[in-house]
């Protein structure tokens, strides 16, 4: 389908024989995403990324809608401020045009996502050769929008549940600071892992809930050396970053793993530098916790923060005010770490309100 002129007008099909629409319903712990596409392949690809969230039956009330349109030509860049351009975390060149009301997201000049903030819907135009760019660069932002629409917030953190109390703990740090090592250490004794990298927080009047989006663990060679109990890994091949991916089900015999389920949030742990001696788990300054989380999770583009970004900032601020937070400087004796974290959660020590 040719697409030119206004993005909205270009969504009108020009075929006299409408293509049967394929749909997929996803249920992210109460936040719905309804995907529609002309080709079943798109549906299958997204379902394969989130197999645990595929829902049967009618979509959730007020689900976020994603329409995928295969195009021969992408909509032209809009008359909106260019607020960001560069490589995303997958190494794909992207650019974002954005106003307070609208976002126009271009990935590799092969895919365009158009979203009116607050509309509860997004439209994606994708060229025939844009499948990889779509899957690596567009799906996660769409899921984030669906969560946001459902009152939930993605957070770059590991999320575990203390088995004795059923309460959740978040382990927060930028990539490369030891989230996976810490999460696996805790999950080896007394905790169950939902995710080592992609958490979701759900603010409720009665308290904050947290859950994790499952994904394969990215285990670094150094982590395997530190945690000798891991033993031989299923795929003994390290990539160029010294990492290998391990599906959760393949390591569930060595660590506690649990499916995603929103649980009351009992503690936030910010990873600091390693301690040369024993572990140091100390109360954290709430403003500093907010600064760390916002720096890693709230986008500030060249044109400033959008209302959506400010909403995220304020939500994280409220979460930190309502939750005990700690800074962890892990020492050498990792086996003693789960007990220390359990005691801190039990005491509600630190800066608990």
Partner 1 sequence: MTTEQPGGDISPSTKLELAPEVIVKSMGDDEGGVLLRRDSGEMFTANDTTIFFLNELDGSKQVGDIAASMADVFEVTTAELESDLVELARELLSQNLVRVA
Minimum distance of partner 1 from residue 89's CB (angstroms): 18
Residue closer to partner 1 by CB (options 266, 298) is 298
For every residue of 243-289, which 3-state class applies, written as one string?
A: EEEECHHHCCCCCEECCCCCEEEEEEEEECCCCCCCCEEEECCHHHH
By the 8 A CB rule, do 209 and 317 touch? no
Residue closer to partner 1 by CB (options 254, 301) is 301
Minimum distance of partner 1 from residue 320's CB (angstroms): 7
Minimum distance of partner 1 from residue 293's CB (angstroms): 11
Residue closer to partner 1 by CB (options 291, 335) is 291
Residue closer to partner 1 by CB (options 97, 316) is 316
Distance from C-alpha of 120 to C-alpha of 275, rounded to nearest angstrom: 46
Minimum distance of partner 1 from residue 321's CB (angstroms): 5
Rg, the chain, Cα only? 21
300: Cβ contacts below 8 Å, ≥ 6 apart: 309
By the 8 A CB rule, do 97 and 77 touch? yes
Distance from C-alpha of 79 to C-alpha of 209, rounded to nearest angstrom: 40
By the 8 A CB rule, do 112 and 75 touch? yes
Kindly list the distances between the CA atom of residue 152 and the CA atoms of 125, 143, 204, 262, 299, in Å, as whole numbers in the listed order. 26, 10, 10, 11, 16
Site residues (CB under 8 A) for partner 1?
285-288, 290-291, 294-295, 298-301, 304-305, 309-310, 313-314, 317, 320-321, 351, 353
> Bridge-partner residues for 159, per DSSP?
170, 195
Residue closer to partner 1 by CB (options 31, 268) is 268
Residue closer to partner 1 by CB (options 262, 289) is 289
CA 70 to the chain's CA centroid = 26
DSSP 119: S
Minimum distance of partner 1 from residue 58's CB (angstroms): 40
Residue closer to partner 1 by CB (options 25, 286) is 286
Distance from C-alpha of 23 to C-alpha of 37, rounded to nearest angstrom: 6
By the 8 A CB rule, do 140 and 33 touch? no
Residue closer to partner 1 by CB (options 49, 309) is 309
Kindly list the distances between the CA atom of residue 31 and the CA atoms of 34, 69, 195, 260, 352, in Å, as whole numbers in the listed order. 10, 23, 18, 13, 29
């Amino acid at each position: 389908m040719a697409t030119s002129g206004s993005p909205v007008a270009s969504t009108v099909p020009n075929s006299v024989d409408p293509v049967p629409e394929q749909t997929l319903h996803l249920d992210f712990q109460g936040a719905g995403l309804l995907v529609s596409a002309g080709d079943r392949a798109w549906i299958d690809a997204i379902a394969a990324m989130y197999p645990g969230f595929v829902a049967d039956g009618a979509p959730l009330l007020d689900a976020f809608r994603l329409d995928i349109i295969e195009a021969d030509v992408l909509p032209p860049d809009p008359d909106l401020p260019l607020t960001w351009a560069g490589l995303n975390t997958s190494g794909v060149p992207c650019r974002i045009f954005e106003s307070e009301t609208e976002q126009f997201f271009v990935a590799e000049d092969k895919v365009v996502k158009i979203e009116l903030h607050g509309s509860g819907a997004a439209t994606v135009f994708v060229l025939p050769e844009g499948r990889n760019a779509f899957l690596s660069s567009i799906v996660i932002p769409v899921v984030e929008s669906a969560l946001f629409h459902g009152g939930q917030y993605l957070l770059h953190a590991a999320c575990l549940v203390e088995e004795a109390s059923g309460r959740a703990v978040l382990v927060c740090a930028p990539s490369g600071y030891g989230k996976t090592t810490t999460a696996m250490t805790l999950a080896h004794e007394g905790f169950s892992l939902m995710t080592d990298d992609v958490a979701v927080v759900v603010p409720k009047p009665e308290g904050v809930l947290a859950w994790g989006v499952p994904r394969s663990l990215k285990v670094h060679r150094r982590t395997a050396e530190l945690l000798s109990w891991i033993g031989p890994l299923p795929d003994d091949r390290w990539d160029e970053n010294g990492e290998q991916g391990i599906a959760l089900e393949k390591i569930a015999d060595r660590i506690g793993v649990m499916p995603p389920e929103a649980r009351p949030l009992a503690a936030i742990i910010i990873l600091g530098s390693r301690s040369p001696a024993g572990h140091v788990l100390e109360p954290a300054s709430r403003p500093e916790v907010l600064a760390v989380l916002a720096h890693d999770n709230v986008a500030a583009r060249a044109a400033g923060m959008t209302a959506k970004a400010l909403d995220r900032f304020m939500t994280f601020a409220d979460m930190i005010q309502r939750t005990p937070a700690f800074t962890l400087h892990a020492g050498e004796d990792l086996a003693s770490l789960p007990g220390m974290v359990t005691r801190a959660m039990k005491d509600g020590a630190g800066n608990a309100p």
